[in-house]
Structure 1
């Protein structure tokens, strides 16, 4: 039976260094079209993971919710759904970055590196270095969100880089459906991770996008994720 999102509060958590502005633009159009109530908590970089968990707990006080997010946000949301199967309706996982321990995952390496550069060189220099190695659209997005989370941004990046995401053995116990979106050309969030999550979870579907498509319109990421969920 397809998931009915009408009137359901849907909480989306941003990725590392990103913010509620981006995740709202990525997901709101697709979710509003299905009648969902969209909630995008502002990240608290000094307590990133705990802040995300609190936002999910608070949103689920009165009724079950859909949970999701991008990268680390997707991992925290999925772990919450595993821990609270009676309070979760579904999961929307965009650009999952790793399964289980972060170890040498590209996203964890990138987060640790960025945290070090920020601490060593400061926000202005670190932002300039980031822009030089990023697609223009991503540089613009991260410049805005990095400045907004400074000076606690390195703390958030280190917390994300050490976060243990659900392992395959845990994903196999997920009781709610999961829609996954992955980018086929994203070296930081490999599409193979999305495939791994889809294969492990009992009810999951995957849709793919490209970085260029996301750069032209972030809404394609959320649309892919929602479409994957609705096909189950």
Structure 2
């Protein structure tokens, strides 16, 4: 099965439900669509939505996760408080009970090609220099890991014809720490799919989902650049 056969085009919540319950060890979610006014700024052209649709995707993410599996969810300043409120109310608060649900906020600090903190975030109100990442797990978990939830990575220079491109290295570090070789990583709202590229590099099975065919084309270009044409990785199945 080819790499793009595992990159599905469709509605994230619907495609997640098709994968089958408890079929993934990790879900890496980057719902960049979740900011209603984002479509009016920074040249963003794709359709955006409010948090209600994000909540539907999160519910489907929980269903697809194995017991004890982890959600790794990228956020921004608008999404972060809503994401934390939803997870603590609906998944539980492991930070409080040490049993299940929301665990902690980490993040990715981006650097420029010179190694200095990146300040190229567009806008008039200060650079974020990166983005927060929320970690939660479904029920109690024995997937204990010591890799830092806060990573430093160089901002990718090539956008592959896509609006937002995040580094591969942080997801590679997290996926390697949390999963075993025979487990699946699911990447809804994938874009150029850095987490899927990380999973393939590590020999994990993966499935990516996006609603835009152009995203899969951008991913294909990025994969060729990141992994080269050498098809050494074991290709998994999208079936549960």
Greater strand content = 2
TM score, norm. by length of structure 1: 0.33
Larger helix fraction of residues:
1
* TM, length-normalised to structure 2: 0.32
